Amino acid sequence: MPGELDRGEEIVAFADAGYRGVAKREELKDCKTQWHVALKPGKRKALDPRYRSDRLLEQVEQFKGSVRAKVEHPFRVVKQQFGYAKVRYRGLAKNTARLTMLFALSNLWMARRQILGAQG
């Protein structure tokens, strides 16, 4: 799991609760990445809004979630809007070219309201 998320070039990484303890893993000891891993849902529900520290923790968790949502949204567009749920065996160059084109189209798809709004 950590090999797919961390390639060694990242400075900051935002991950869901499934990556708890990733900073302690032996294969990532030399990694300089700063990890921001979400709290487990149970721990997040246990936060008490009466305490300032818990309110701040909740704000931090919302920020982590907003960053992850911005990163994950193009993947949803590529999979749901353009039907790219499974990779076909075409060769690395063709698959890379297709994914590059699909992610460029997903940027247009997500900005379509601003683009169409600017015309009228």
The answer to whether 70 and 77 have CB atoms below 8 angstroms apart is: no
Q: How far apart are CA 19 and CA 42, in angstroms?
A: 15
DSSP for 48-77, written as a single string: -TTSHHHHHHHHHHHHHHHHHHHHHHHHHI
pLDDT tens readout for residues 9-66: 778 888 888 888 887 888 777 777 788 888 888 888 898 999 999 999 899 989 988 8
Which stretch of 3-17, 45-59, 75-89, 106-120 has the lowest confidence by average pLDDT? 3-17
The answer to whether 6 and 30 have CB atoms below 8 angstroms apart is: no
Residue 15: per-residue pLDDT? 81
The answer to whether 34 and 13 have CB atoms below 8 angstroms apart is: yes
Query: Is pTM, for the whole model, over 0.75?
Result: no
Residue 7: per-residue pLDDT? 61
